[in-house]
Amino acid sequence: MRFYVAGIKIKSTLSLFAASFRSFDSGEEADVRITLSSASCWNLEAEERYLLINLAVFSLTVSSLKKGGWLFEERGSSSGVRILATNDYADLIIFEEAPTTKASLMRLVRLVRFLLECRFVHESTLSLHAACVEQGGRAVCFTGDSGVGKSTRAQAWIKALGAEFISGDRPAIRLEENGCTAHGVPWDGKEQIFRNVERPLHAILEVRRAPFTRLRRLSADQAYRALVRQCFIPMWDSDTAAPAMGNIRRLSRAVPVYRLFCGADPEAALETHRALFEHPEEIQEELPDMKIREGFTLRKVADEHIVIPTGGNIDKFGGAVVLSEVAAFIFEQLQQPVSQEDLLALVLAEFDVDRATAAADLDALLAQLRELELLLEG
């Protein structure tokens, strides 16, 4: 079988992906080759072993081999999958018989997908955790942490604007000479929403929940920090992780990245689209970010909001900090990078308070956080 995915030609002895992704001429050389083999034919002596995932239902380990390459082993409750990958992930050798059940095929596809995303790095391509839609022949990606509402914002665009999904969870972003393209891939997330299309990438939107609609332009450094959290990086392999980080840096400079504050309603979709495509002057200019330093958590104890140090901060930080309801809300918003202006807008939307009072209270709280060395800025 021959699959053409995100500009990458994949030749496989197994039928792994949707028929809509089968293409490229048999005479063309493949970028990635997937074959079956017997483990007895290979020297699999390990040099180092890393545990990547350890869950109740399955685990995933990777071993660097003395003869070169990587051995990936996924273990489930009843069976497992082993795949040998060359150092550049161009050859994937499966050490099992062809899958005979839907469950075994899904396990195999999950691991193959993981390794193909490693290969993407060497093809100037990134796997981005995002919902990606096409509108007017251009792609827009909604990215952010799990549960923030990426898919619901994308669905709002589909309902309000007639947009179409390219990928519901993991589009491939390919770096081109002039910009970037977004591609559907046949191993999308649990919803399996994808199309075999590629479109010029118009913008990436980092989603934040808010009862108002606002787009804030991010600087290249802010965009890089946001995208590092959402792009696949094979950290066990420094020879692949380094170019992955370089690809993310290139992406942050090649495509506009905005912080999107909005709800999941059609009106918010219309307002966002208008700013992106018709009235870019409505987009707010970039501002410095601030966030709470790692190692502090907010808990509610007997109706009190208390900031408690964790980990190494326990010895360094003397005691806890009691916050008001408003201060606790601000502390929660500061778990992610945010500008002071946007933080003030969130406070005004959440509480019945005038702007002057809210601004003064916010200044006072930020001064307290700075004095306690809890705040990172810039």
DSSP 213-271: -EEEEPPHHHHHHHHHTTB---TT-HHHHHHHHHHHHHHHHHS-EEEEEE-SSHHHHHH
Q: Any idea what the Cα angle at residue 309 is, between residues 308 and 314, rounded to 5°?
A: 130
307 and 237 in one domain? Answer: no
31 and 170 in one domain? Answer: no
137 and 108 in one domain? Answer: no
Q: How many domains is the chain partitioned into structurally?
A: 3
CA-based nearest residue to 243, from 324, 350, 122: 122
* pLDDT of 100: 66
| pTM for the predicted model, two decimal places | 0.91
Select from 119, 142, 169 the last residue of a domain: 119
What is the residue-level pLDDT of the chain in tens, covering all 378 positions?
888 899 899 999 888 887 778 777 777 899 999 999 887 778 889 999 999 988 877 889 999 999 999 999 988 756 678 999 999 999 999 987 666 677 777 888 889 999 999 999 999 999 999 999 999 999 999 999 988 999 999 999 999 999 999 999 999 999 998 889 999 998 876 677 899 999 999 999 999 999 999 999 999 999 999 999 999 999 999 999 999 999 999 999 999 999 999 999 999 999 999 999 999 999 999 999 999 999 888 998 888 899 888 887 777 776 778 899 999 999 999 999 999 999 999 999 999 999 999 999 999 999 999 998 899 998
**Interaxial angle between packed helices 220-228 and 238-254, expressed in degrees from 0 to 180 and rounded to the nearest 10:** 140
* pLDDT of 22: 75
81 and 180 in one domain? Answer: no
Distances (CA, A) of 46 to 50, 61, 105, 165: 11, 12, 27, 42
* pLDDT of 355: 96
111 and 59 in one domain? Answer: yes
242 and 185 in one domain? Answer: yes
* pLDDT of 163: 97
197 and 324 in one domain? Answer: no
- Cα Rg, the chain, nearest whole Å: 23
Select from 226, 254, 282 the last residue of a domain: 282
Q: How many other CB atoms are there within 10 angstroms of residue 44's CB atom?
A: 16
* pLDDT of 14: 86
Select from 282, 313, 342 the last residue of a domain: 282
How many angstroms separate the CA atoms of 160 and 182, rounded? 22
* pLDDT of 271: 97
Q: Output the domain CATH number for residue 331.
A: 1.10.10
Q: Output the domain CATH number for residue 148.
A: 3.40.50
Instruction: Count Cα neighbours of 365 within 13 Å in the Cβ-side half-sphere.
Output: 25
Query: Are the CB atoms for 105 and 49 separated by under 8 Å?
Result: no
325 and 344 in one domain? Answer: yes
114 and 150 in one domain? Answer: no
- CB within 8 Å of 163: residues ≥ 6 apart: 133, 134, 135, 140, 154, 157
How many angstroms separate the CA atoms of 137 and 259, rounded? 22
CA-based nearest residue to 194, from 15, 376, 18, 12: 18
23 and 95 in one domain? Answer: yes
* pLDDT of 78: 62
Q: Give the residue numbers spanning the domain of 219.
A: 126-282
132 and 214 in one domain? Answer: yes
Q: How many other CB atoms are there within 10 angstroms of residue 135's CB atom?
A: 19
263 and 165 in one domain? Answer: yes
